[in-house]
Amino acid sequence: MEKQDQRNFLIAMALMVAFVFGYQKVFMEPAQKRFEAQQAVITADEQTGMSASELSNVPAIAATKTVEEAISGPGRVKFDGESVDGSIRLAGSRIDDLSLRKHYLTVEKTQEIRLFRPEASEYGYFATYYWADGTSLVAGRNSPWVQVGLGKLTSSSPIKLRLETPGLTIDRTVSVDDNYMFSFEDTLTNTGDTERSVRAIGSVERHGDYKGFLEATDPGSATASGLAHMGLMGVVDGELRMKKYKPLLALKNIDGETDAGTFPSTEGGWWGLTDKYWLGALVPQQDRPFNGIVNKKSIATDGPLEVRTESEAFTLAPGASQTTQNRIFAGAKRFEVLQDYQNMEGIPRMVDAIDWGWAFFLTKPFFYALEWLSGVVGGFGWAILAFTVLIKLPLVPLFNQSYKSMAKMKKLQEPMKELNERFAADPQRKQQEIMKLYKQEGANPVGGCVPILFTIPIFYALYKTLYVTLEMRHTPFLFLKDLSAPDPTAIGNLFGLLPWAASDIKAIPVIGVVIGIGILPLLYGVTMAALQSLSPAPTDPTQKMVIRAMPIVFTFVFGGFAAGLVMYWVWSNILSFAQQYFIMRRNGVDTELGKTISRLLGREKEPAD
């Protein structure tokens, strides 16, 4: 190899190594640090009301208690639904203790996902509806609601709460369906002698560092912020509005925001905070106009992150009553559930709470196909394998043409080598002779690259689909315990035979990158190398070495991908290899695999001679 080629090769390899270690550092190491909010505690027996301006500037609450301590006192009503359990704090009538019964922290399923937490605990997160009369709250953060009657809230038995204030009584019926939707049906009665103009204010409020919250709620999800949208999400007037946590907390502009800092909606909608798989959202009364709001005053003064809805006010004459219904979604972004809320209850674009991304025209159909196939073949893992075949079928003619072009190019390798040697001193003449050879044999040097134009978008869309949809989370398949997590096997634990977690092995400095590679990433590297052996090699020695190194590089890169995605790609490589090998043989091209098999067969025959 000449000095120039050696230098180019060393630079290329250095860049590859830097890429592998950079990927390990940025994407594969889970976030460890957690932060605590710092300010005074507000207890349930403090003020019973607050002005609307004060609500916009609420201080952060210091995490002084554990969740268990915060929910252990009186003044709570328990709920036990089909999909959620927890309790409602009567002071403020807020849902601040909520766990998801069908979703767990780990695959061992020993601890439920806790979504909502009390204000005085670490990472407080809760939702409710207040009521305002002009600039004053008549039902505020700590208003003393009382339960009417006894019993807990279940999916079949609602509870009744009451708040009596000077001149206004609010009777609230709280119900929860079989999934994740709470309904607040409020009947307001004007008991005074003057008319009242009142409006509902929905609030979803979260305290503490958002990355710390993500790690505490769903370990590992804090590192998912690159591909999965997490932050503000809502639909107003049919438009989806989103802003990720970091720019949201930096008070960056949000598309669609008015000069008044609101997002008006006259056609229904919803407004909330989304994580990778979980959503806390306000669904105000759909036939009444409302404004979506981000509480920027609170953020600017180091207070909690709060998003609100303010519905259009209505007037109550003395002695008059009016009933409204506002809802809160607090749960998992399961496609089937969101679709039912959208289609059956008319909540616009609820399925878009799942971050389908810019390639939604591919990601949505891909998910529909995977969901349908999982019901047909009996599991999400088998569905991925079947889907790979379905995706490849329409592209068979295109790949056939590509592989034929590759076969022709591979047959021309020896003649091109001769031309390179003959005209080494005359590059222009060499190029002319090569083009003449291409024309004579009907070969197209870029013909083999055409399928990449289709496979890259498909790869991205499938990656996005498997990454953001909840249905693959904690789903087992064969030796895999969780298709949404990286391969749990590793060289360092003898591919699962030793009782050491692959994540612990990967955490070992430097060497962990190598011995932390699992079975599926290794299979990907092997199948990628096998595919390369069927393609014509570049004539430039440096390019040839770089291309040969790519399977090794991508083996490390794929080590951090979801096992379901790597499984798809390994199976896709196997199918592509079989198809390409068949086309090569039909076109009379000897492959490295064919030569190897022939040599092996020849050695077996030697003793018989």
Among 36, 95, 45, 55, which residue's Cα sits nearest to residue 71? 95
Cβ(562)–Cβ(477) below 8 Å: no
Residue 484 confidence (pLDDT): 79
Nearest to 227 by CA among 33, 463, 32: 463
Of 377 and 56, the one with more pLDDT: 377
Residue 320 one-letter amino acid: A
In this structure, is residue 431 part of a structural domain? Answer: no
Return the axis-axis angle of helices 541-558 and 3-23, rounded to nearest 10°. Answer: 10
Non-local (6+) Cβ contacts of 149 within 8 A are: 159, 160
Q: Does 105 or 243 have the greater pLDDT score?
A: 243
State the pTM of this model.
0.78
In a domain, 479, yes or no: no
Q: Is 326 helix (H, G, I), strand (E, B) or coil?
A: strand
Chain mean pLDDT for the chain: 80
User: Containing domain of residue 267, as a range?
Assistant: 31-355
- Residue 8 vs residue 58, higher pLDDT: 58
In a domain, 398, yes or no: no
Give me the pLDDT at residue 540, please: 64
* Other beta carbons less than 10 A from residue 76's beta carbon: 20
Residue 388 lies inside a defined structural domain of this protein: no
Q: What is the DSSP string of 27-76?
A: IISPP-------S----TTS-S--BHHHHTTPPP----B-HHHHTSSSSE
Residue 563: both structure tokens together: 């096992």
With cut-offs at 50, 70 and 90, classify the pLDDT of residue 47.
very low
What's the mean pLDDT in 234-249? 93
- Whole-number Å distance between alpha carbons of 221 and 55: 31
Q: Specify whether the CB–CB gap between 464 and 425 falls below 8 A.
A: no
> How many whole angstroms separate alpha carbon 113 and alpha carbon 95?
16
- Vertex 141: Cα angle to 138 and 145 (nearest 5): 70
Q: What is the Cα–Cα distance from 265 to 257, expressed in whole angstroms?
A: 11
- Name the residue with higher pLDDT: 39 or 446: 446
- pLDDT of residue 125 exceeding 80: yes
DSSP structural state of residue 477: B
What pLDDT does 222 receive? 62
User: For residue 304, is it within any domain?
Assistant: yes
- Per-position b or e across 510-523, b if 16+ CB within 10 A of its CB: eebbbebbbbbbbb
User: Residue 110 is part of a domain; what is its CATH number?
Assistant: 2.70.98.90
d(CA 152, CA 560): 44
Confidence of residue 42 (pLDDT cuts 50, 70, 90): very low
Asked if residue 174 belongs to a domain, the reply is: yes
DSSP code, position 25 = I
Query: Which stretches of 117-238 are assigned E, i.e. beta strand?
Result: 125-133, 136-139, 146-148, 153-154, 159-165, 168-176, 181-190, 196-206, 231-236
CA 316, chain centre distance (Å): 45
β-strands 153-154, 76-80 pairing: parallel
Q: Is the pLDDT of residue 103 over 70?
A: yes
Q: Looking at the domain assignment, is residue 82 inside a domain?
A: yes
On whether residue 407 sits in a domain, the answer given is no
Confidence of residue 562 (pLDDT cuts 50, 70, 90): confident
Indicate whether 37 pLDDT > 50: no
Number of Cβ within 10 Å of residue 166's Cβ equals: 8
- 445-450 own/partner pairs: CB under 8 Å, 24+ apart: 445/409, 447/401, 447/402, 447/404, 447/405, 447/406, 447/409, 448/402, 448/403, 448/405, 448/406, 448/409, 448/535, 448/536, 449/402, 450/398, 450/401, 450/402
First CA to last CA distance, the chain: 42
CB 17 within 8 A of CB 514: no
Read off the pLDDT of residues 449-506 as tens digits, 9 standing for 90 and up.
556 666 778 778 888 888 888 888 888 888 888 887 787 887 776 777 776 676 667 6
**Bridge partner list, 95:** 88, 127
**Residue 211 has which token pair?**
């990355």
In angstroms, what CA-CA distances link 278 with 114, 162, 218, 335?
10, 30, 9, 12
Question: Above 70 in pLDDT, residue 381?
Answer: yes
551 contacts 368 by C-beta, under 8 angstroms: no
Can you list the pairs that 240-247 forms with residues at least 24 positions away whose Cβ atoms lie under 8 Å? 240/349, 240/352, 241/292, 243/294, 245/210, 245/305
Q: How many domains does the chain have?
A: 1
Rounded to an integer, what distance in angstroms lies between the CA atom of residue 281 and that of residue 270? 7
- The total number of residues shown for the chain amounts to 609
